[in-house]
Chains A and B, each alone.
Chain A
Amino acid sequence: MTDMPLSSSAALPDRKPASLLEQDARTKARNAAEKRFRLYGVAAIAISMIALVVLLATILTGGAGAFRQTYLNIPVTLDAAVLDPKGNRDPAEMAKVLTLSYGRVLDAAVEATVARHGIQIEGLTEKDIDGLISKEASAQVRDRVLANPDLVGQTVEFDVLTGGRIDGYFKGRVTMESAERDSNTSPQQLLLAQELADRGEMVTRFNWNFLTNADASDQRPEAAGVGVAILGSFYMMLVVLALAVPIGIAASIYLEEFAPKNRITDIIEVNISNLAAVPSIVFGILGLAAFINFAGLPQSAPIVGGLVLTLMTLPRIIIPTRAALKAVPPSIRDAALGVGASKMQSVFHHVLPLATPGILTGVILGLAQALGETAPLLLIGMVAFIRDHPDGLPGGLFDPASALPVQVYNWTQRSDPAFIERASGAIIVLLIFLLCMNVLAIWLRRKFERRW
């Protein structure tokens, strides 16, 4: 059929003879479609980048305030008649004096300071003056006096926490207008705080206590910190490190190097890939039913959280570890077997060391995921309000503790907006930890990456 009539081209719509230099309408349309398609791709990437930037920016700007705190510097006369009624400076006797009495001493000190500076503000009540300082301040002073009873009777300079509203005023969260509507503060009180700040008595500075303090009750956001949460998260990571890492690596070695190709191995493999995709909250239910209700472990304890996170992290460690083992070329195994090593020796002496960087990367990323996990911990009671730091190891594993992401959730449930700032601050701490872990993982990967 080579002699097909040439006239068949006439059946096509009358097309002008095409020129390479001139684009016809169809080419133009196709090129436009090409451009549009590229644009969609760029837009998709731009949207994700913008989302990332906005997300991080809101958290960082919102949480930066948690790392600064306003303190009032006042001389406090520690009246011996009130604080040590028996007069023998015995800490055991003085411990019977409640924080309430210290509160009265502090109120007097604040009033004296205001009077000393001769600040006159119309409509300023005594309640406004006493409300300048945090309810936590009296406990602060009491702790210091009980630690050093000789202070009683002297006049000592104290940096006391100011109330949450005053602190918010210096961070721009509380304004004169909002104070008008707020029963916990008043414009007069804010004016007074401004006067004291102008005179240098009230300063806002870096807040180490945020990193060490325990959680505080609903009325005193200014005293709340992430100390217990950091410790709890740290304990849980220790449990995960001690259990998930060896078990995960052992399981990967078995599945990758020794497992016979049979039904049981297939079932295990399907199981692991399914477990990796089971919602984390289901692991929380498992932890509640198995570890707390059945095994009788204490609620809110880092050991339970650690066990739950271990089960959750296992598949996430096994998958990258197997990939790292698989990446070691078979020639290494063959060479080891060839010089007389047993299968076990070839794996433990040669394959495993060569796969270590890849395994470490996977392990660190798995731990990072476990560190940020919240939902399963809510179900095993880590959301409870915990005032005391857990003990040292190993007993501390069984003490109630919080965890960083759970502390964030906990603070979002409080009514005072100051806690939102604390929550963002806790997220900054969490993100810094995660950043360190990820940077370490990337560094390991870069440093030891090997191309076979």
Chain B
Amino acid sequence: MPLSWALFANFLLAAAGYIVGRSRAFATAGPDVRKLHSRPAYHGASVGLAALLPALAVLAAGAILRLAGVLSSDTGPIIGIVALIAAIAGLGFGVMRIGREYQARNVVEHMVLGLLMLCSLIAIVTTAGIVLSLVFETGHFFRVYDWKTFFFGTEWTPRFQGNSQLGIVPLLWGTMYVSAIALLVAVPIGLFAAVYMSEYASRRVRGFVKPAIEVLAGIPTIVYGLFALITVGPLLRDYFAQPLGLGNSGTSVLTAGLVMGIMLIPFVSSLSDDIINAVPQSLRDGALGLGSTPSETVRQVVLPAALPGIVGAVLLAASRAIGETMIVVLGAGAAAQMSLNPLEAMTTITVKIVSQLTGDSDFNSPETLVAFALGLTLFVITLALNVVALYIVRKYREQYE
């Protein structure tokens, strides 16, 4: 890996530049360091950066050109040497600049500011990367597959010989069904827990329960998935599905929904906790002063005041439920069907993304490319939910600030 060696050598050169620049600055200052505009360390840093930045630019450009196929892959050593030359030139230039009047600190601070700004742009680059890769590959998919069949088709039967039916409707149905059950579990429990903790619980109870609920939030979803697979699924099958004659499947919508509901409890409760705490105390005091009981205060004053925020929290929870993967992979099953029976196995968008993209996949067949279209659909749905929810929550916060 000559490029990584070049990188390493460049960092060494930059470190050397720092030392050289610093001692050079001391030398120019003479006996009184105060004669310098900037402290010697800044002179050192400016030389170091002058050596490092051009070399990094060369390396990055080389890597990108190689990826784009403009340069062949055996040009690594040449790029490395060019980068080293750039670093040495930069170092020389930096040392030349040192003088009593040279404003090294301002230069270094500008560069650092630029670096900080660059880092904050990575978020935008990531979003752009997600959107580009999804849109690009989805475009591929719609060139080999009819978009009307994808969005309105009610059958999902991928076949590797070709001629697959790839309709998203049954997957959407499964996703919505599981998410609805999860929200039915999580919203009341999470909301009541939050109300109890912020309005009733003593300090001691809160000090114990709050971290315990946070533990629930810290458990990875694969653990919930395994719990659904080995405990909840067989339990529901043996005690509900089979006696009631509703099915015979270890994986079901209800299994995944219940377990996902448990996973979302801490999410809903901590969000609603923040929102309930943001309701001004004066509203509560007013209601209590008029003679209402604490529960009447909560139901008729606090909750209506917090309602927009809570709606936002529920929407965020819904977006999480729709995008959740491991619990549904292990708990909901893989059969794409539309049924009302919650004890039957159904499947979701995320499950199918996993199943179409794991293993050996041929990136030209619609069976693989459909995963990107599913991903784009998922991204758009969750993004819409998030944007609306964040907007509501933000508006709500402004109201009481």
Contact = CB atoms under 8 A, between A and B. Distances in A.
Contact of A279 (B196, B225, B323): B323
Contact of A251 (B109, B122, B136, B325): B122
Contacts of A186: none
B251 to A, nearest CB: 11
A37 B296 CA distance: 9
Nearest to B326: A374
B130 A278 contact: yes
B384 to A, nearest CB: 11
A344 interface: yes
Interface string A338-360: 00001110000000000000000
Contact of A33 (B109, B113, B225, B295): B295
A43 B293 contact: no
Interface in B107-136: 109, 112-113, 115-117, 119-124, 126-127, 129-130, 133-134, 136
B122 A280 contact: no
B130 A375 contact: no
Interface in A273-289: 273-275, 277-286, 288-289
B220 A274 contact: no
A374 B221 contact: yes
A258 B116 contact: yes
Contact of B112 (A295, A344, A412): A344
A408 interface: yes
B286 interface: no
A384 B127 CA distance: 28
Contacts of B220: 371-374, 405, 430, 434
Interface residues of B, number: 87
Contacts of A342: 105, 109
A62 B230 contact: yes
A444 interface: no
A34 B293 contact: yes
Best-surrounded residue of A33, A255, A282 (most CB of chain B within 10 A): A282
Contacts of B319: 277, 279
B218 A44 contact: no
A294 B129 CA distance: 11
B196 A311 contact: no
Interface in B361-380: 363, 371-372, 375, 378-379
Interface stretch (A52-60, A128-136, A142-150): A52-60
A434 B105 CA distance: 42
A367 B269 CA distance: 23
B15 interface: no
A430 B224 CA distance: 13
B325 A281 contact: yes
A55 B224 contact: yes
Contacts of A204: none
Contact of A277 (B266, B294, B316): B316
Given A59-B223, A253-B116, A285 B193 contact: no
A41 B192 contact: yes
Given A41-B193, A271-B124, A279-B378, A51 B216 contact: yes
Nearest to A52: B216
A247 interface: yes
A285 B134 contact: yes
Contacts of A36: 295
Nearest to B224: A55
A253 to B, nearest CB: 6
B3 to A, nearest CB: 12
A293 B379 contact: no
Given A55-B223, A374-B326, A285 B129 contact: no
B209 interface: yes
A424 B223 CA distance: 8
B180 interface: no
B223 A290 contact: no
B379 A55 contact: no
Given A41-B196, A48-B193, A279-B350, A59 B227 contact: yes
Contacts of B191: 44
A52 B212 contact: yes
A311 B126 contact: yes
A344 B38 CA distance: 14
A404 B119 CA distance: 30
Nearest to A289: B133
B325 A48 contact: no
A394 interface: yes
Contacts of A30: 293, 296
Interface in B205-243: 209, 212-213, 215-216, 218-227, 229-231
A38 B297 CA distance: 13
Interface in A377-430: 378-379, 381, 383, 394, 405, 408-409, 412, 420, 423-424, 427, 430
Contacts of B134: 282, 285-286, 289
B230 to A, nearest CB: 6
Interface stretch (B149-157, B338-346, B351-359): B351-359
Nearest to A365: B218
A254 B295 contact: no
B113 A344 contact: yes
A431 B324 CA distance: 20
Nearest to B211: A442
A232 B287 CA distance: 57
B171 interface: no
B192 to A, nearest CB: 4
A371 B293 CA distance: 46
Contacts of B51: none
B67 interface: yes
Contacts of A314: 122-123, 126
Nearest to A57: B231
A42 B121 CA distance: 46
A271 B120 CA distance: 10
Contacts of A66: none
Contacts of A375: 221, 325-326, 329, 350, 354
Given A412-B226, A412-B229, A282 B323 contact: yes
A268 interface: yes
A31 interface: yes
Contacts of B102: none
Nearest to B316: A277
A59 B226 contact: yes
Interface of A: 30-31, 33-34, 36-38, 40-45, 47-49, 51-52, 54-55, 58-59, 62, 246-248, 250-251, 253-255, 258-259, 267-268, 270-275, 277-286, 288-290, 293-296, 311, 314-315, 318, 342-344, 365, 368-369, 371-375, 378-379, 381, 383, 394, 405, 408-409, 412, 420, 423-424, 427, 430-431, 434, 438
18 contacts: A36-B295, A40-B192, A44-B193, A51-B265, A52-B215, A59-B226, A254-B119, A258-B113, A277-B319, A279-B322, A279-B324, A285-B130, A286-B133, A290-B129, A343-B109, A372-B220, A378-B358, A424-B226
Interface of B: 4, 67, 105, 109, 112-113, 115-117, 119-124, 126-127, 129-130, 133-134, 136-137, 188-193, 195-197, 200, 209, 212-213, 215-216, 218-227, 229-231, 262, 265-266, 269, 293-296, 298-299, 316, 319-320, 322-326, 329-330, 350, 353-354, 357-358, 363, 371-372, 375, 378-379, 382-383, 386-387, 390
